[in-house]
Structure 1
């Protein structure tokens, strides 16, 4: 099987896995939906990335061997060291600094 076909098969399986998860989630009570909101979003991001990602034949074959490749990738993501909160802090600080700069510029224009 070509790499392109393997990647398509992997994407299709992961997308179907996500669709089944979404269908299950939509019939849950609101508290369960909220408790799983982050998981749903990250899984959506994984599926979206699979549309454009180019894995090696060996990598694609390894994931295709799984019954639940999306769940496996999500499980690995959950255990990975990320800088998510550092990124959130950086964005907050950048946003605050942008507001400060805009206020300074507005004050300078009004002072003329």
Structure 2
């Protein structure tokens, strides 16, 4: 199996693993679904990234050898420190600033009481 075929096989294995996870999740209570919403979303992103990612033969084979490569990658990702919350805070601040500026511009606009 060449590198491209291994990457394709890995993508298909991860997509099938996600399908199984999705089916399990759909059978759970709404509360349990909410408990796994973040995990589901990150796993979807991992599968989407695998569509275009080209791993080396060794990398692809190492993940293919795992019974659950998607869960393995998710568990690794879950332990990483990411700037996700920093991005959220920056988004809130930037949007608040934009809205404040728009309000100030609206207040500063001249009002003509007569036509």
1:1-112 mapped onto 2 (5 Å cutoff): 1-111=1-111
User: How high is the TM-score relative to the length of structure 1?
Assistant: 0.94
Aligned-residue CA RMSD (Å): 1.3
Q: Work out the CA distance in 1 between the residues paired with 2:86 and 2:111.
A: 37
Distance 1:111 1:60 in 2: 66
Gap change, CA 1:109 and 1:24, over 3 Å in 2: same
Summarize deviations over 1:58-79 as a string: whole Å, max 9, x none.
Answer: 2111111101000000000111
Q: C-alpha distance in 2, partners of 1:38/1:111?
A: 48
Q: Based on CA coordinates, which of the two structures has the bigger radius of gyration?
A: 2
TM-score by length of 2: 0.91
